[in-house]
Amino acid sequence: MTLEEKILQAIGGMHPAAIATIDGGRPAVRFMVLNGFPDMTLVGGTLKASRKVAQLRQNPETSIAIWSGKEYTDPFVVIRARGEVHEDLATKQRYWNQDWVPFFRKVENPDYVALVFTAYEIEWSDPIRRSTETWKRK
């Protein structure tokens, strides 16, 4: 299995993720559900008034950690990415997920924004083999 395939196994589809942004020079971490795509982007939805939106607009650098949480021995990834806030309807429709209806009601909700994280470095770690491999965007 290639490194990209191993990474996609960990990030592909919807996953809970720990997202770290910068808040006044200090890290701020929260959990949110992200959808991972083969182009090594991850997308989630949030409210426009959230602190993470303000933090990303000020500094787009983020770190994201994804682990299945099922077994201690499951591989995990740590991602360095740049986050973008998208308020336009076309992008919101592109990434809309019906699971978000209880939170945002509908894709046209002006309070809902799409967060798109473009990974530029991903460390994939296997705790059993005690190995780490690093993918970098070209």
Segment 24-28 shows an average pLDDT of 94
Mean pLDDT of the chain: 95
Long-range contacts of 48-53 (CB under 8 A, 24+ apart): 48/85, 48/87, 48/110, 48/111, 48/112, 48/113, 49/111, 51/23, 52/19, 52/21, 52/28, 52/115, 53/85, 53/113, 53/115
CATH classification code of 3-136: 2.30.110.10
Where do the structural domains in the chain lie, given as residue ranges? 3-136
Please tell me the predicted confidence (pLDDT) of residue 117: 98
pLDDT in tens, 62-104: 999 999 778 888 899 999 999 999 999 999 999 999 999 999 9
pLDDT in tens, 30-51: 999 999 999 999 999 999 999 9
Segment 2-17 shows an average pLDDT of 93
